[in-house]
Structure formats: C-alpha cells, structure tokens
Amino acid sequence: MWRLLMDRIPTKVALQRRHINVGSPMCIFCVDQEETVDHLFTGCIVATGVWNVIARWVELPQFFFFSVKDIMQEYEGSKWSVMKKAAFHGVMVITCWRIWKARNDKIFREVDRSVVDIVADVKALSFLWFSSRYKKGSVGWEDWKKFDFDVM
C-alpha cells in the first residue's frame, strides 16, 4: 500500500517513464485512459464498480475517489469502533491489492476478472486476514458477509 500511495508500482505509464516499452499505455480494463496509479485504482470503470460494491457492502455512501490518497482517507473518517475501523482499513488495502491482481491476471494470464469476482475475493480474503489477526471467532462469516459486527 505504501508503494501505491507513493506512485511506485509498475503501471504502464510508470514503466514508460523508465523507458520500458509496454506497447499501448492505455488501461487494460477500459482502454479509455492511460494506466496511471490514480486511474487504475480510482478512475477506471472496473475500479469504480468495485468501490461501489464495497461501499454498499460496508453500508457507507458511494465512494468518490479522485486519487489513491482518497482511498486511505475514507476509513479515517468513520465513526466505528477501533476494531471495525481496523477491519475496514484491511478491506480497503485488500481491495487495492485485488484490483492490482486482476490487472496482472488480464495482462499476464489473459484472465478476465469481473467486479463480482474481485469483490468476492476481497470479502473472503479480508475475513481470513481479520480472523487470523484478531480474536478468532469474534466475527463469524455470516456477520462478515453483511459487515455487521462490533467487536470491542
């Protein structure tokens, strides 16, 4: 996440800045704009779709991100308990990671991941991460799927 916030991941535009031939610099998902960090994680139609579903899942208003910094600022303003806020932070980080993985799957393996696939991965992986990091059994899968819990 630190590398993402510092614009230090190898997007097509970042690779071109290093004089690496990547072919077209256009986003692999939408082919509408150049693949920059901000576009890939906030402006692309795939990222927007993922963030909209995540917002509905955690029962927050629709996210309007303009840069990757906006992603991390979103969780800081929530009024949840410390533990639920930590869970939400984990969800945000894992969501970025799964968008990046979906991008790499499309480029390197020619595998298309839908918004539904990406969000399903986020829910499952964030549950496993949360369960291993915090009190085991404090939140069950059914509550996690609804993001309906308040752990002290």
Tell whether 23 is covered by a domain: yes
- Name the band, by pLDDT with cuts 50, 70 and 90, for residue 77: confident
Tell whether 152 is covered by a domain: no
Q: Report the distance separating Cα 84 and Cα 126, nearest Å.
A: 12
- pLDDT tens readout for residues 21-60: 999 999 999 999 999 999 999 999 999 999 999 999 999 9
C-alpha pair distances (Å), 91 with each of 25, 82, 122, 138: 29, 14, 7, 17
Tell whether 14 is covered by a domain: yes
Tell whether 83 is covered by a domain: yes
Tell whether 151 is covered by a domain: no
* pTM for this predicted structure: 0.93
Domain count, the chain: 1
Residue 37: domain span = 2-146
Tell whether 18 is covered by a domain: yes
Instruction: Assess contact for 54 and 122: CB atoms under 8 A.
Output: yes
Please state at what angle helix 82-104 crosses helix 115-133, rounded to 10 degrees: 140
Tell whether 53 is covered by a domain: yes
- pLDDT tens readout for residues 103-134: 999 999 999 999 999 999 999 999 999 988 87
